[in-house]
Structure 1
Amino acid sequence: MSSFKDVEKLFFVMDNTATAIKDKLELPYLDALVETGENLFFQEIPKEYPKELTTVLMDEYKKINLSEFDKDMTRKAFQLAVLKGMKEAVQPHHAMTPDAVALFTGYLVQKFMKKSEKLTLLDPVAGSGNLLTAVMNHLKDKECDAFGVEVDETLLRLAWVNANLQKHKVELFHQDVIKPLYADPVDVVVADLPVGFYPDDEGAKVFKVYEKEGHTYAHHLIIEQAVHHLKEAGIGIFIVPNNLFESEQSGLLHAWIKETVTILGLLQLPETLFKSSVHAKSILILQKNGEGAIKPKQAMLAQLPSFSNKNGLGNVMDQMNEWFKTEWEREK
């Protein structure tokens, strides 16, 4: 069976059972997906479920054996179900990193941490855990301790189920990322930044990127907070809006960057991945200053072609691999 067929098979079981739970228990789809994910993980159905629902679920669960699916197949099937639920929920802060971007982020972490056998990883805006687990799946040869922070309780529960089904060790924190974090400093931060203003001006005051006139950009605050939670010379990989350095608050961000980090790269993602050019994003790669930090002669700059353009993407990847050889590994 092809991997697509496997993903499809697992997705149908997740979707059918989540829909059955949603209809019978009158729950939102995403909450029902958490329930069915827990049932699959613990391999048991709660005794308090109505008998007819239990019968439907048992018939569906019999169709699959989770141990036959690799981690990334499980992630993709779960991701499809979460995407379906997010379309129903229509909450603006519920959005998912495009799969190609999540996989590309995993490639970058692998390249930057090539010499490390063990690493710690943090996603400060973990959502349903898709980006974090996609990166972890890319780091097959490394021991990885991962942490996720998420303020939305439904998304946090989805991230918990997502990590469990993939058998990943992830410690999750239910909190506002701008408040002091419980996680220890890590080697790498990955984050697909939500774009907008942070309403708590008092909470934003302790940050260097704080805007005195009106609200501060939340994505600026998250970058500063994330870097604060990096070890010296740690790497931050952020999915940011294309206009990050052109906004009315970019002067504050520039000044903070100059004294705290080095920009290692800025990669513009294909516009075809986004609903419109207004929503298009780039990958910003930073290294925290400190012992062991590297100052490359030049940053890695690229405009990525469509991920379906294999020749164009191959050329860009060749250039990036050359950058790693000449600018990154040369210094190691």
Structure 2
Amino acid sequence: MTSSITQMEHLFQVFNETTVLLQNELQCTYLEALAETGENMFQGSILQDEVSEIGRKQLEKSYQTVKIDIIDKSIIRKSFQLAVLKGMKEHVQPNHQMTPDSIGLLLGYLTNRFTTNLETVRLLDPVVGTGNLVVSLLEQWSDRSQQVHAVGIDLDEVLLQLAYVMANLCQQPVELVAQDTLENWFIDPVDLVVADLPVGYYPNDEKAKEFTLKSTKGHSYAHHLIMEQSMRHTKEGGYLFFLVPNTLFESEEAKKLQEYLHHEGHIQAFMQLPQTLFTSEATAKSLLVIQKKGEAIQAPQEVLLAKVPSLSNQTAMQRFLADVENWFQQSKQ
């Protein structure tokens, strides 16, 4: 029987080989070709008319070595993710780094735990990118999959196409919207926001003036504005999970951000993620959890402040999860 590792390696090899072939045939980038080959595999046919006869035969031969319908969906997602990571190395975009799987696992547990009382959940990722985070969450929520409606927003058409293909291959329904995250959203209010926030400045100063968290001088922080935009579209009592820089509350705009968050919501948790998950101390992030204020919504008795241990340290992780569970029992009654 083929092991999951061997199966994942083989599927990545097929994604990679067919992507490179289409990249050469279509004269496009690796990521654009990856979206094309993923769509071919989902549709079960070669959709590109420009492909030569030789190229078509090579593609068919590669596709025939995998049966995408019977492969475990997490293996499909991880194999596709590896191919995306390879493609991203061609075009280094700091704000388009893929969220590590281990963070996805932690978020899957926490988002599920915070929303256990909800029969249905409208989930939003306002910076969905390639869709890896939202598809990973849906994967973990498989026992609640009929109750979750997921929406993803992104301006980058190539990343959005990759998200569309990944969601289809993994059979996870995600509604995708192509637009600037800080333009007006035409979506229903959501119960849950999950976002790995891009850190940097928003260049549209005129648009930034519409936000409370606009900077008093120069460009505004994009991650602050996205937090405010997300809060506006969250239902009363809804939760927002943001991956933020460790230094979030140390910047020049920190005081204004703190005042805004305390006015609009209740901070539930601030968890520093393991340094080993990030390329440098400067790029390290923490998880900020906020509940939007509303009628009968109470602040927790205490904010959960924690350092998340390495997920490979099982003993430390078990202790950490026990502490989180204890916090729920004491502070979320």
Give the alignment's TM-score, normalised by structure 2: 0.96
Q: Deviations over 1:73-125 (max 9, x none)?
A: 11111111100000112223321101101111111111011122321100000
Using the TM superposition, give the Cα deviation of residue 292 of structure 1 relative to its aligned residue in structure 2, in angstroms. Answer: 4.7
In structure 2, the CA distance between the partners of 1:4 and 1:290, relative to structure 1 (3 Å rule), is same
Report the counterpart of residue 233 of structure 2 in structure 1: 229
Q: 1:124 to 1:47 in 2, by over 3 A?
A: closer
One-letter code of the match for 1:39? N
1:63 to 53, 62, 65: 65
SS in 1 for 2:143: coil
User: Aligned to 1:39, what secondary structure does the other structure show?
Assistant: helix
Q: Contact 2:95–2:199 (CA<8 Å) still a contact in 1?
A: no
Change in CA separation of 1:206 and 1:47 when aligned onto 2, cut-off 3 Å: closer
Deviates more, 1:80-89 or 1:6-15: 6-15
User: 2:8: which partner in 1?
Assistant: 7
Which residue, 203, 210, 214 being the options, matches 1:206? Answer: 210
Distance 1:237 1:108 in 2: 9
Distance 1:171 1:47, change over 3 A: closer
Partners of 1:67 and 1:47 in 2: how far apart? 22
Which residue identity lines up with residue 225 of structure 1 in the other structure? Q
Structure 1 10/117 Cα, relative in aligned 2: closer, same or farther at 3 Å? farther
Written as runs of structure 1 = structure 2, the 5 A alignment for 1:78-157 is 78-142=80-144, 143-157=147-161
Which one-letter code corresponds to 1:321 in the other structure?
Answer: E
Say if 1:251 and 1:62 are closer, same or farther in 2 by CA, change over 3 A: same
Using a 3 Å threshold, how does the CA distance of structure 1 residues 6 and 117 change in structure 2: closer, same or farther?
Answer: farther
Letter paired with 1:317: L
- Equivalent residues of 2:193, 2:241 under 8 A apart: yes
How far does residue 164 in structure 1 lie from its aligned partner after superposition? 0.9
Equivalent of residue 219 in structure 2, options 209, 212, 215: 215
Query: What's the CA shift for 1:212?
Result: 2.2
By how many angstroms is 1:275 displaced? 0.9
More deviation, 195-204/304-313: 304-313
Given that 1:186 and 1:230 are in contact with CA atoms closer than 8 Å, whether structure 2 keeps it comes out as: yes
Contact 1:192 1:240 in 2 (8 A): yes
Q: Secondary structure at the match of 1:245?
A: helix
Number of residues paired by the alignment? 329
2:319 to 315, 321, 326: 315
Give the CA deviation at 1:71.
Answer: 2.0
Q: Is the 8 A contact 1:124 1:149 kept in 2?
A: yes
Q: 1:182 to 1:45 in 2, by over 3 A?
A: same
Residue 208 of structure 1: CA displacement? 1.0
Question: Residue 134 of structure 1: SS of its match in structure 2?
Answer: helix
SS in 2 for 1:121: strand
Q: State which of 232, 235, 244 in structure 2 corresponds to 1:240.
A: 244
Secondary structure in 1 matching 2:249: coil
2:271 corresponds to 1:270: no
Distance in 2 (alpha carbons) for counterparts of 1:327 and 1:98:
29
- Residue 184 of structure 2: aligned partner: 180
Q: Distance in 1 between matches of 2:87 and 2:106?
A: 25
Shift of residue 294, structure 1, vs aligned partner: 3.2
Q: Which amino acid aligns with 1:318?
A: A
Q: Which string of whole-angstrom CA distances, capped at 9 and with x for unpartnered residues, describes residues 190-221 of structure 1? A: 00000001111110111111112111100000
8 Å CA contact retained: 1:117, 1:141: no
Q: Aligned residue for 2:34? A: 33
Q: Are 2:172 and 1:171 aligned?
A: no
- Normalising by the residue count of structure 1, what TM-score does the alignment of the two structures yield? 0.96
Unpaired stretches in structure 1, ≥5 consecutive residues: none
**Structure 2: where are the runs of 5+ without partners?**
none
**What CA distance in whole angstroms lies between the structure 2 residues aligned with 1:117 and 1:75?**
27
Partner of 1:22: 23
Instruction: Give yes or no for contact 1:7–1:76 (8 Å, CA) kept in 2.
Output: yes
* SS across alignment from 2:142: coil
